[in-house]
Chain A
Amino acid sequence: MLNQTILNATHRALGARMVDFGGWDMPINYGSQIDEHHAVRRDAGMFDVSHMTIVDVRGPRVREFLRHLLANNVDKLKVSGKALYSCMLNEQGGVIDDLIVYFIDESFFRVVVNASTRDKDLDWMARQGSRFGVTLTERRDYAMVAVQGPKARERVHGLLSAEGATRAAKLGKFVAADVDGLFVARTGYTGEDGYEIMVPEAEAVSFWSKLVAAGVKPCGLGARDTLRLEAGMNLYGQDMDETVSPWEAALAWTIALEPAERDFIGRAALVAQKSDGAAREMIGLVLDDKGVLRHGQRVITDKGDGEILSGSFSPTLGKSIAFARVPAGAADGALAVDIRGKALPVRAVKFPFVRDGQPCAGI
């Protein structure tokens, strides 16, 4: 039996095609997935992301705990509501999960982890947290809706109280606040502006319907995947997992080695790997020929084979793009991808591929 979000019947009534997504019965698309993608790039779209796992972490030593648990440094979080993206690593430096952590106050941080990794994440956090005396509370009483696109914020503001709209409008990027009983975070997974909004379950269906009425297009997880890939954002399980370090997953920017005395889990392994040099790296690829790069395809390089991680057709660019993991330095030589026995040439490019609705330079 698949898990269902509180919006399940709403999706079905809208004609969604439903799929098993990590044990959850979720909409992959409602109509054309490409139309949904463009709605987010050009106007406003929304996603039910209630399957994700919200965990409230409380206790007097919660900051100290997270300083130890995460590869990024929560000491960057000084103002209430500020958010940080981080990996949670094992001792070998492999990625257990990627997550967002919000600082609420010195005894309360809120963490959002992936749905498919829920059980192992909660186990790991509980095990590591016991000596810091923190309590973990999963917030299944919240649904979560991501409203994304250049018009997303103003559409949401129209549904808030006057005071709430003013407060939301002042939120900086990667900051959240309690607004009208909602937890409104200016974050996302599409490369567009917008909010991820936690809404009490009892109000979620009505909130979703008001957003539809305000002209926000319901979008499925298919569009969410092409949007985040264009935006250069990793997907856990596809682009990194416990056998891959952040160095090898283009996530060096999320590793805080300074200050040197912060002893976080995986630190020793990361430092060793940095001094030896990582054997593999994650790069962006563009296929100018016709065809679609897909997960698992072989990448042929001068330094040996690599593989496609996330790969898809990019609706904004009209051609295929991908992340690939290849031997270090391979991106300087010629690259090709084996698609059904044919070696098609591909170009290594910097990512994101698309930002704020526009193709990035060199793509």
Chain B
Amino acid sequence: MSEIPGDLKFLKSHEWARVEDNGHITVGISDHAQAALGDLVYVELPGVGDNVQAGNGAAVVESVKAASDVYSPVSGTIVAVNDKLADAPETINGDAYGDGWLFVVKPSDSSEMDALLTPDDYAEMIENEEH
């Protein structure tokens, strides 16, 4: 299990979110989530310009084993998606917190980020899940 970067926040459903310098929110799935899903083979991303709601499905990641919805941590508009994943979904397995990012949201209400888990809280949650 790789180290969780300190500038991330998490949903209980294993998405991570990072506030960029311009206030946009980059979203991906956690290293724990990619390990549980196993080899990823397909990613369905939203379109740039799509509106998303906090807690609603915005993307789908599919591994050999299972399909899993990816929820947006905040409401807003999609301003970028990681097109490279179309041909290389396994990037998420190798670098979930870096090159494996999924999409970027321009938030309509950035205070929604306050409801997310800190890295320590998330680490504790998955620790408890495993016991």
- A residues apposed to B, CB below 8 Å: 17, 28-29, 32-34, 222, 226, 290-292, 294, 312-313, 315, 340
Contact of A313 among B35, B41, B93 (CB under 8 A): B41
CA of A291 to CA of B42 in the docked complex: distance in angstroms?
A: 6
Give every chain A residue within 8 A of B65 (Cβ-Cβ). Answer: 28, 33, 222
- B residues apposed to A, CB below 8 Å: 35, 38-39, 41-42, 44, 60, 62, 64-65, 67, 86, 93
**Residues A33 and B67 in contact, CB atoms below 8 Å apart:** no
**Residues A292 and B41 in contact, CB atoms below 8 Å apart:** yes
**Residues B64 and A315 in contact, CB atoms below 8 Å apart:** yes
What are the 9 A-B residue pairs with the smallest beta carbon separation, nearest first?
A313-B41, A34-B39, A292-B62, A313-B64, A33-B38, A33-B39, A32-B39, A290-B42, A33-B64
CA of A34 to CA of B42 in the docked complex: distance in angstroms?
A: 14
CA of A292 to CA of B63 in the docked complex: distance in angstroms?
A: 9
CB closest chain-A residue, reference B39:
A34
CB closest chain-A residue, reference B66:
A294
CA of A29 to CA of B86 in the docked complex: distance in angstroms?
A: 24
**Residues B38 and A222 in contact, CB atoms below 8 Å apart:** yes
**Residues A294 and B64 in contact, CB atoms below 8 Å apart:** no
| Chain A: minimal CB distance from B84 (Å) | 14
**Residues A34 and B67 in contact, CB atoms below 8 Å apart:** no
- Can you name 8 A-B residue pairings with CB atoms under 8 Å? A28-B38, A32-B38, A33-B38, A33-B64, A34-B64, A222-B65, A292-B41, A340-B44
CA of A28 to CA of B38 in the docked complex: distance in angstroms?
A: 10
CB closest chain-A residue, reference B35:
A17
CB closest chain-B residue, reference A29:
B38
CA of A294 to CA of B65 in the docked complex: distance in angstroms?
A: 9
CA of A294 to CA of B68 in the docked complex: distance in angstroms?
A: 12
CA of A292 to CA of B86 in the docked complex: distance in angstroms?
A: 14
Give every chain B residue within 8 A of A28 (Cβ-Cβ). Answer: 38, 65
CA of A32 to CA of B35 in the docked complex: distance in angstroms?
A: 9
